[in-house]
Amino acid sequence: MKILNYGSCNVDNVYTLDHIVTEGETEAAEALAVFPGGKGLNQSIALAKAGLSVFHAGCVGADGDFLLELLRENGVNTDWVKQSSEKSGHAVIQVTKHGENCILVYPGANGEIREEDVTETLSHFEAGDWILLQNELAKTEFILKEAEKRGLRILLNPSPCNEALLAADLSSVSVLILNETEAALLSGEKEPLAALERLKKKYPRTQLMLTLGEEGSLFWDGKSLHPQKAYPAEAVDTTAAGDTFTGYFIAGLFEGLPPQEILSRASLAAAIAVSRRGASVSIPRRDEVEAAMARRHSENE
């Protein structure tokens, strides 16, 4: 059984400032740092750091060699990542001293995915293999349809959640991994438990992983609801905390671990990520997560 992540790769331009700039305002940033990012790349790296063999598919620009190298250094297979003459996708990220962020994404080469690329890539995968998707690439709906035709198990992080995704048929998705905002958009309910109930009715065959930031998370595995508290963290930069959680959560599902173990490991990995700057570079390795977990157990004994 293989796992493919068809996802975005971005260059993240991270500006540190006092507060998030609002409409009509101009503010000088205190620092600029450039990091590899993109929800797709971050999640592939999180999956790999959690211990899985991952195939990444997508598209980087002529300036994207360092993104490909980073994926390969982390053991991610990049045979199905195209390189185009466009610029790579990029993000403009404002991060405050308290770790809050605000992200603007320019698709760049992520918009260069063609239907023939999808068909060719998916022809290397078979029924029962897993495919992970976010919503920062062109052709998300087409990928969903092709993956369903091939009998792949589809895991979707509907982020960013836009009009096109809201109109798409998501009934073939086996696992939805979504935050409060995405849950509210897909369900029409603001309150998390009400949103979850609505989503259970809307997608009766789908497992639902709802992340709630500092409030923890809720996992509906199709039979029972598993709540998880968030681990306390000194937030420096919350960018990619969700991607870290997603990678570790999926790795745990893929390995068939019990739900509570999956959730506590994913939450702790995300707590470590928010205590560091940057996106993919902030994602902890599995041995770091396990060491932190062991420390917590011994402290609580």
Catalytic annotation, residues = 243
Q: Residue 110 or residue 228: which is nearer to ligand RIB going by CB?
A: 110
Residue nearest to ligand RIB (CB): 37
Least spacing, CB of residue 123 vs ligand RIB, in Å: 27
In the structure encoding, which two tokens stand for residue 162, read together?
């836009």
Amino acid in the structure at residue 157? N
Burial of 298 (0-12, 13-18, 19+ CB in 10 A): exposed
DSSP 282: G
Least spacing, CB of residue 205 vs ligand RIB, in Å: 27
Among 129, 146, 237, 243, binds ligand RIB (CB under 6 A): 243
Restricting to residues 63-92, name those near ligand RIB by CB under 6 A.
Answer: 91
Burial of 21 (0-12, 13-18, 19+ CB in 10 A): middle
Which element (helix H / strand E) includes 267? helix 259-274
237 touches ligand RIB by CB under 6 A = no
| Token pair 């918009």: residue | 111
Q: How far apart are CA 202 and CA 39, in angstroms?
A: 26
38 touches ligand RIB by CB under 6 A = yes
- Counts for the chain of helices (H) and strands (E), in that order: 10, 13
Q: How big is the chain, counted in residues?
A: 301
Restricting to residues 160-179, name those near ligand RIB by CB under 6 A.
Answer: none
Q: How far apart are CA 228 and CA 247, in angstroms?
A: 16
Binding region for ligand RIB (CB under 6 A) out of 6-14, 116-124, 149-157, 257-265: 6-14
Least spacing, CB of residue 237 vs ligand RIB, in Å: 10
37 touches ligand RIB by CB under 6 A = yes
Least spacing, CB of residue 283 vs ligand RIB, in Å: 11
Binding residues for ligand RIB, how many (CB under 6 A)? 16
7 touches ligand RIB by CB under 6 A = no
The residues, ordered by sequence, that sit 6+ positions from 195 with a Cβ below 8 Å of its Cβ are: 180, 183, 184, 186, 187, 189, 210
Binding residues (CB under 6 A) for ligand RIB: these are: 8, 10, 12, 37-39, 42, 91, 103, 105, 136, 239-240, 242-243, 279
